[in-house]
Amino acid sequence: MLAEQKIETLIEFLRDTVAEYHPLALASSFSIEDMVLTDVILSHVPQIEIFTLDTGRLPGETYDLMQHVRERYGNVVRVYTPATASLENFVNEHGPNAFYHSVELRKRCCQIRKLEPLARALAGKAGWITGLRREQSVTRQGIEAREWDELHGIYKFNPLLDWSEQDVWAYIRRFEVPYNKLHDQGYPSIGCAPCTRAVSVGEDIRAGRWWWENPESKECGLHAARLVNKD
Ligand code: SF4
C-alpha cells in the first residue's frame, strides 16, 4: 500500500508550487508517472494546467489512452502538434524513418516533433512539472525537486523524483487511474512507436527507448537541457 504520507506530500508540494509559480503546467506524455500527476492535479490542484506533445508517431495504445483520459476527466489536456512546414521539409529531405540513420537525425526529429512544440507550450508559463524519477535511468539520477531550466528560462519541478516504480503502480491501482496498455506487454517506458520496444526482465527501465543508441545519448532533449539549482 502506498504510504498516505507520500500522496499528502505530493499534494502539498503542488499546492505550494502553483501558489508561487503561476501559470504552472504539467507536461504529460501519458506515462504512468504523468497519469498519477494528472489524477492528483485534477482531484486536488486543478489550477495547474496539463498539456501533451502529439508527435504524430505515438503508438495506437497511447492515442487510446488519450481518448480514455478525455472520457474520464473531460477535455483537460491541451494538445500541441509539430509545425507543419518544418515536419514536411524534414520528412521530404530525409525520409519517414530518418531517426534510425544517425543520432543527429534522431535528435532533429525530436527537435521538430517535441522540442519546438514544447517551447510553444511553455511560452508564458512560470514553471513546468514533469514525472521524472531518479531511478528511471543513468541520465536522471541527479535530478532535484526544483531546477532552473536554462533553455526555457523558467523553473522545472520533478515532484515524483523519489517515488519508486512500485509507488507509482500502487497509486494507479488504488485509484483505478487509466494507463497505457503497452505496460502490460513489457513496455516500461513508452515514447514514439518506431523508437520504443519492449524490454526483457532485468533490463533497464529505459532500455527500450532508442535501443540502438548508447545510454548516455538516450534523452529526447525534453530533459537534456542543462538544469541547475537556482536559489
Ligand atoms: S522519439 Fe523517434 S519518432 Fe519521436 S520525435 Fe524522437 S526521433 Fe522522432
**Which protein residue has the closest C-alpha to ligand 1 atom 3?**
192
Active site amino acids: 220
Contact 114 CB / ligand 1 (< 6 Å)? yes
Counting from 1 in the atom list of ligand 1, the atom nearest the Cα of 193 is 3
Beta bridge partners of 80: 53
* Number of the ligand 1 atom closest to the C-alpha atom of 109: 8
Ligand 1 pocket residue status of 190, Cβ below 6 Å: no
The closest of 167, 148, 174, 136 to 229, measured between CA atoms, is 148
Stated as kind and residue range, the H or E segment containing 16 is helix 4-20
Task: Please tell me the pTM assigned to this model.
Answer: 0.90
Domains of the chain: 4-225 (3.40.50.620)
100 CA distance to ligand 1 middle (Å): 10
Note down pLDDT in tens along the chain; length 231 residues. 458 899 999 999 999 999 999 999 999 999 999 999 999 999 999 999 999 999 999 999 999 999 999 999 999 999 999 999 999 999 999 999 999 999 999 999 999 999 999 999 999 999 999 999 998 766 677 889 999 999 999 999 999 999 999 999 999 999 999 999 999 998 888 999 999 887 877 777 777 777 777 766 666 667 754 443 333
